[in-house]
């Protein structure tokens, strides 16, 4: 922004200080609650994290090591620095490292190097473990559980521990869950000496795709693109009705491309947008809710989505690429943010809120002159589109960030900045390492015991074979898991346990290898969506709670408002299942246009009904009618679309005709 507008930002809109932002992150985002040590250990940790990033970049450039070595070294780096940086108790002193964490860090190094040192022997042993192998595998499992507790949270540790107990006590389980049981030796072998447990697919994705994209995000931040997103959003949307809320939506959608955390997204962009919304008349809770809902959708926004999207590539298989996932996510993401945009628009009209004045806007010419900051993101899109491997695309994106950063006078990158970005990226990856390793425990047990198939069959039976009831039960399970587990772990659990139930109903009696890709994507996107929006679903709505920390509003009310604003997110997964044209697979352009058109019309109707305002205040009966019309248009049937559109345009005509009549409530003007 210009100097003039920097002054407006600081004074008129009362932005949060960097210290306040960090305090909010530490309170609501466990991955940000790290130690701040000084002296020699600060330098040791800095160099260690730098080596972590350099190791990962080396494998991107020169090729991956054998799976067990690649993943254990990645795991060893992650565990070591989790124990050095994350305190055992959150509220303990953060300027010193207790002796027991040094011991745990050293044990983590042993675990991380064990496969590297003993690779030939372990490969040739064919699963026969020596005594030392057993104890190292047991130690690795315990360290992963404790690291996940510190860096991710207690819920995922409890869930993984319960799965381990289930693997051992299988014969004593209820009939529909019973299995023959596994010995401790077999469990340890599965967890650390196979590629189905801790060293399984989730950690593999972390050690390859996710890490390099986290590095890309760290380099984007160094180029100043985060602030540029805010400036660009204000320049484009600031003057519109209720401009600050639309700025929040636009900015958060862009911020989501560099942040996989809903809470981090809230704090980063919310510190800028929430004070702006409050200043121009939005209630505290609504201002926080707009930011929370928009920030949570960042993980749904292509081209760079949350870590779970990379896992989806591996879990679905069948030649699916990350670009296929990003392309399929494009229309649902558009509908998600369109829904929030529509509802904030109607709320702004209801309250008579203005947009920003010319004096409050940044200099548009200056903003547009910095459009080159988006080159790295555009480059990644083009590279993936032409078939360049994902990791190489991210690597070229990092190089583009360095080149672009050299031309930005305000944040010109030097050698020290490049090193800092490498360290920041590695530090950001620590929580992902813990989450994916712990999720591997769950996947390993599910695969070994056949629990996924048992629970899927039970879920279908409970729903009486009804696809709608099955989807409802899966939605509830995903939301509950999402309240206690990060998106990555949530997706791993639901995709292995709940998604098969959806697939079984959409493609009955079809072998897994023959299930249509569109069916697989529909099922996986369903659980993916609900795992993400758990961040704004009360009572545990961390993104909404973080937003309330900025707005000063009531956390629960903010959560309720954010869930209401994001009502599209509760509808879109059902639309994906019943109308897979949204995923742009095996459909014509005409079909896509029609589905998107009716969906947007449906969003407008539902938004007006939920807010209670269209061109004028809506009466209760009118609200119910337009919501019903909206749902009819969203449901993918020609007959329901026709009925919905007829009712929609009839209500629209009624609104136009009566908006200035004396017999209807008039707009409340602030």
In the prediction, which pLDDT does 260 show? 63
pLDDT tens per residue, range 638-648: 888 899 999 99
Query: CA nearest 291: which of 5, 541, 95?
Result: 541
CA–CA separation, 625 and 650 (whole Å): 11
Residue with tokens 């890309």: 216
pLDDT band at 14 (very low <50, low <70, confident <90, very high): low
Contacts with 492 (C-beta within 8 Å, 6 or more apart), sequence order: 202, 308, 311, 436, 439, 442, 443
Specify the range with the lowest mean pLDDT, choosing from 110-119, 159-168, 230-239, 250-259: 250-259
Is 98 within 8 Å of 135 (Cβ atoms)? no
Instruction: Between 463 and 416, name the one with better pLDDT.
Output: 416
pLDDT tens per residue, range 564-595: 888 888 888 998 888 888 888 878 888 888 88
In the prediction, which pLDDT does 18 show? 66
Whether the predicted pLDDT of 387 surpasses 90: no
Burial of 418 (0-12, 13-18, 19+ CB in 10 A): middle
In the prediction, which pLDDT does 666 show? 46
Residue with tokens 């989730």: 202
Domain membership of residue 386 (yes or no) is no
617: β partners: 613
DSSP code of residue 257: T
Whether the predicted pLDDT of 425 surpasses 50: yes
DSSP for 26-55 reads HHH-GGG------THHHHHHHHHHHHHHHH
Residue 354 — φ and ψ, nearest 5°?
Answer: -90, 170
SS3 of 435-455: the string is HHHHHHHHHHHHHHHCHHHHH
Is 152 within 8 Å of 263 (Cβ atoms)? no
CA–CA separation, 310 and 522 (whole Å): 16
Domain membership of residue 625 (yes or no) is yes
In the prediction, which pLDDT does 16 show? 66
**Cis bond upstream, residue 539 (ω within 30):** yes
Is 451 within 8 Å of 445 (Cβ atoms)? yes
pLDDT band at 665 (very low <50, low <70, confident <90, very high): very low
CA–CA separation, 171 and 174 (whole Å): 8
Report residue 306 as tokens.
């949350």
Residue 665 sits in which domain range?
588-670
613: β partners: 617
Whether the predicted pLDDT of 235 surpasses 90: no
Handedness of CA 312, 333, 258, 58 (dihedral sign): positive
CA–CA separation, 635 and 381 (whole Å): 32
Whether the predicted pLDDT of 8 surpasses 60: no
Rounded percentage of the chain residues whose pLDDT exceeds 70: 93
Is 116 within 8 Å of 69 (Cβ atoms)? yes
Query: CA nearest 640: which of 595, 609, 593?
Result: 595
DSSP code of residue 178: -
pLDDT band at 15 (very low <50, low <70, confident <90, very high): low
Report residue 79 as tokens.
């565990």
CB atoms within 10 A of CB 637: 12
CA–CA separation, 144 and 151 (whole Å): 10
pLDDT band at 399 (very low <50, low <70, confident <90, very high): very high
What's the whole-number mean pLDDT along residues 281-291? 87
Average pLDDT of the chain, as a whole number: 85
CA–CA separation, 429 and 218 (whole Å): 11
SS3 of 293-335: the string is HHHHHHHHCCCCCCHHHHHHHHHHCCCCCHHHHHHHHHHHHHH
Residue with tokens 């809230």: 266
Is 441 within 8 Å of 167 (Cβ atoms)? no
Domain membership of residue 620 (yes or no) is yes
Global pTM? 0.85
Domain membership of residue 186 (yes or no) is no
Whether the predicted pLDDT of 434 surpasses 60: yes
In the prediction, which pLDDT does 2 show? 40
Domain membership of residue 670 (yes or no) is yes
As for how many domains the chain has, the answer is 1
CA–CA separation, 366 and 141 (whole Å): 53
Is 239 within 8 Å of 361 (Cβ atoms)? yes
pLDDT tens per residue, range 504-544: 888 887 877 788 888 899 999 998 888 888 888 887 778 88
What's the whole-number mean pLDDT along residues 27-34? 73
Helices marked H in 175-321: 184-192, 201-205, 211-222, 225-237, 243-255, 262-279, 284-296, 307-316
CB atoms within 10 A of CB 113: 14
CA–CA separation, 326 and 317 (whole Å): 15
- Report in angstroms the alpha-carbon separations of 207 from 211, 438, 641: 6, 14, 46
Angle at CA 374, nearest 5°, toward 370 and 380?
160
Domain membership of residue 66 (yes or no) is no
Whether the predicted pLDDT of 613 surpasses 80: yes
Instruction: Between 457 and 620, name the one with better pLDDT.
Output: 620
Whether the predicted pLDDT of 333 surpasses 80: yes
Domain membership of residue 241 (yes or no) is no
Whether the predicted pLDDT of 9 surpasses 60: no
Whether the predicted pLDDT of 484 surpasses 70: no
pLDDT tens per residue, range 54-66: 999 999 999 889 9
Domain membership of residue 669 (yes or no) is yes
């Amino acid at each position: 922004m210009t100097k003039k507008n920097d002054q407006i930002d600081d004074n008129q809109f009362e932005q949060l200080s960097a210290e306040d932002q960090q305090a909010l992150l530490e309170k609501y985002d466990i991955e940000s609650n790290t130690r701040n040590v000084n002296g020699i250990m600060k330098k040791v940790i800095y160099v260690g994290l730098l080596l972590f990033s350099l190791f990962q970049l080396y494998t991107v450039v020169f090729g991956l090591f054998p799976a067990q070595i690649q993943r254990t070294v990645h795991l060893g780096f992650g565990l070591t620095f989790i124990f050095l940086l994350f305190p055992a108790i959150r509220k303990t002193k953060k300027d010193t490292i207790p002796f027991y964490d040094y011991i745990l860090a050293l044990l983590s190094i042993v675990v991380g190097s064990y496969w590297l040192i003993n690779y030939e022997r372990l490969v040739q042993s064919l699963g026969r473990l020596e005594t030392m192998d057993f104890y190292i595998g047991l130690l690795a499992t315990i360290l992963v559980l404790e690291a996940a507790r510190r860096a991710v949270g207690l819920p995922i540790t409890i869930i993984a521990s319960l799965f381990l107990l289930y693997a051992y006590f299988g014969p004593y389980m209820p009939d529909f869950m019973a299995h023959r049981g596994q010995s401790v030796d077999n469990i340890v072998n599965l967890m650390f000496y196979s590629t189905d447990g801790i060293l399984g697919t989730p950690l593999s994705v972390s050690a390859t795709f996710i890490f390099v994209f986290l590095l890309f995000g760290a380099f984007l931040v160094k180029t100043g693109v985060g602030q540029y997103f805010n400036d660009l959003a204000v320049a484009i949307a600031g003057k519109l009705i209720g401009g600050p809320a639309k700025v929040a939506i636009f900015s958060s959608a862009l911020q989501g491309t560099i942040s996989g955390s809903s809470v981090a997204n809230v704090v980063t962009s919310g510190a800028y947008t929430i004070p702006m919304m409050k200043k121009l008349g939005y209630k505290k809770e609504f201002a926080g809710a707009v930011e929370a809902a928009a920030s949570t959708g960042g993980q749904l926004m292509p081209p760079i989505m949350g870590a779970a999207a990379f896992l989806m590539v591996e879990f679905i298989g069948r030649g699916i690429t990350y670009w296929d996932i990003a392309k399929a996510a494009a229309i649902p993401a558009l509908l998600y943010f369109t829904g929030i945009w529509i509802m904030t628009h109607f709320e702004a009209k209801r309250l008579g809120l203005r947009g920003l004045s010319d004096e409050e806007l940044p200099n548009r010419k200056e903003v547009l002159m910095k459009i080159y900051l988006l080159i790295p993101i555009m480059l990644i899109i083009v590279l993936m589109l032409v078939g360049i491997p994902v990791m190489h695309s991210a690597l070229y994106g990092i190089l583009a960030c360095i080149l672009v950063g050299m031309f930005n006078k305000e944040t010109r990158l030097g050698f020290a900045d490049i090193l800092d970005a490498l360290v920041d990226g590695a530090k950001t990856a620590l929580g992902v390492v813990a989450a994916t390793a712990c999720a591997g425990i769950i996947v390993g047990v599910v695969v070994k015991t056949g629990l996924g198939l048992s629970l899927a069959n039970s879920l279908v039976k409970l729903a009486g074979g009804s696809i709608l009831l099955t989807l409802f039960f899966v939605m509830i399970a995903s939301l509950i898991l999402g309240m206690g587990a990060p998106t990555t772990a949530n997706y791993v659990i639901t995709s292995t346990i709940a998604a098969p139930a959806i697939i079984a109903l959409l493609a009955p009696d079809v072998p897994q290898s023959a299930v249509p890709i569109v069916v697989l994507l529909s099922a996986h996107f369903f659980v993916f969506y609900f795992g993400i929006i758990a961040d704004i679903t009360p009572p545990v709505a961390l993104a909404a709670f973080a937003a309330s920390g900025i707005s000063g509003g009531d956390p629960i009310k903010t959560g309720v408002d954010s869930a209401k604003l994001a009502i599209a997110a509760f509808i879109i997964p059902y639309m994906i299942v019943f109308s897979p044209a949204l995923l742009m697979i095996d459909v014509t352009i005409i079909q896509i246009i029609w589905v998107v058109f009716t969906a947007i019309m449906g969003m407008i109707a539902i938004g007006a009904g939920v807010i209670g305002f269209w061109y004028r205040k809506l009466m209760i009966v009118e609200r119910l009618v337009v919501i019903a019309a909206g749902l009819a248009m969203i449901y993918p049937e020609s007959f329901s679309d026709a009925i919905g559109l007829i009712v929609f345009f009839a209500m629209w005509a009624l609104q136009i005709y009566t908006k200035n009549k004396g017999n209807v409530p008039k707009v409340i003007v602030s």
